[in-house]
């Protein structure tokens, strides 16, 4: 049986620490079962909302599965899923927000499949970024994103106007984006 060929350029060969039971996928159900949660998480981290993450995860799976021929080696499939996710997410940002160069460095899929980790990747990264931010920026983002304060409540807490709070939020996010590049780099 022919294995998958992913076209020119080849596929990175990630080291999988803990592969699912079998190293060959023989049907789409097992690709789905092992990877859907990881793909959803990758998507969620780049869009921040469940509705888009669901659509994008489905899109990544469908595009990958339509190209695959079974049986297919697990590590190839997973690498291809990540590669497809990158394309799908870049398209999403371009089509929804006309954004060309949003940083989309995607980590490899967690190897554990459905029993996968919670949001530890996202929270580790956020923690590192927050720790590097100047005090006031960190405060705004912590109140808003971790404690769920509204802009009005943030303004009250910091003793600034609401429009100032919005500006602070914008600048803090810009700075966080910059730092995220460094943290990842």
Partner 1 sequence: MTSSAVDRVAKFVDDLLQGRRPRRFKASQEEAEAMAAAAGLVAARAGADLPDKAALDRIHRRLSDRLDESPRIDSRFTRRVWLRTLGTAAAAAAVGVVLDEVLTHQSSPGPAVTEEAVLTPDGGQWRPVAAVTQIPEGHAMPVSTGSLDAIVVNDGGQISAVSGTCTHMGCKLQPDDADKRLTCPCHQTAFAWSGKVLYYRLKSAPASLPRIESRVRDGQVELFIV
Which one, 11 or 126, has the nearer CB to partner 1? 126
Contact flag: residue 36 with partner 1 (CB under 8 A): yes
d(CA 45, CA 119): 9
Nearest to 38 by CA among 128, 122, 109: 109
Q: Which two tokens stand for residue 137?
A: 């920026």
Q: Are the C-beta atoms of 149 and 143 separated by less than 8 Å?
A: yes
115 binds partner 1 (CB under 8 A): no
In Å, how far from its chain's centre is CA 116?
Answer: 14
Rounded to a whole number of angstroms, the minimum distance from the CB of residue 74 to partner 1 is: 16
11-37 b/e (C-beta count within 10 Å ≥ 16 → b)? beeeebeeebeeeebeebebbeebbbb
H-only helix segments in the chain: 28-47, 50-67, 74-97, 120-132, 135-141, 151-158, 162-184
Residue 155 in contact with partner 1, rule: CB under 8 A: no
Residue 89 Cβ vs partner 1, minimum distance, rounded to whole Å: 10
When asked if residue 37 is in the footprint of partner 1 (CB under 8 A), the reply is yes
Choosing from 83, 125, 138, 139, the residue that interacts with partner 1 (CB under 8 A) is 125
**Residue 95 sits in the site that holds partner 1 (CB under 8 A):** yes
* Binding of residue 44 to partner 1 (CB under 8 A): yes
The contact set with partner 1 (CB under 8 A) reads 26-29, 32, 36-37, 40-41, 44-54, 57-58, 61-62, 65-66, 68-70, 93, 95-103, 118-119, 122-123, 125-127, 129, 141, 144-146, 148, 151, 163, 166-167, 169-171, 173-174, 176-178, 180
């Amino acid at each position: 049986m022919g294995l998958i060929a992913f076209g020119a350029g080849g596929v990175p060969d990630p080291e999988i620490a803990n592969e699912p039971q079998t190293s060959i996928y023989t049907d789409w159900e097992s690709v789905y079962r092992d990877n859907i949660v990881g793909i959803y998480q990758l998507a969620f981290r780049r869009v921040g909302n469940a509705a888009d993450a669901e659509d994008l995860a489905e899109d990544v799976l469908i595009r990958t599965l339509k190209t695959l021929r079974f049986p297919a080696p697990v590590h190839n499939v997973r690498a291809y899923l990540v590669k497809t996710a990158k394309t799908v997410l870049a398209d999403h940002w371009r089509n929804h927000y006309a954004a060309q160069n949003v940083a989309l460095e995607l980590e490899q899929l967690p190897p554990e499949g459905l029993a996968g980790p919670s949001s530890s990747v996202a929270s580790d990264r956020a923690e590192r970024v927050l720790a590097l931010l100047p005090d006031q920026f960190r405060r705004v983002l912590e109140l808003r994103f971790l404690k769920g304060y509204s802009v009005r409540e943030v303004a009250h807490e910091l003793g600034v106007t609401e429009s100032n709070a919005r500006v602070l939020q914008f600048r803090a996010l810009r700075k966080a984006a910059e730092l995220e590049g460094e943290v990842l780099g």
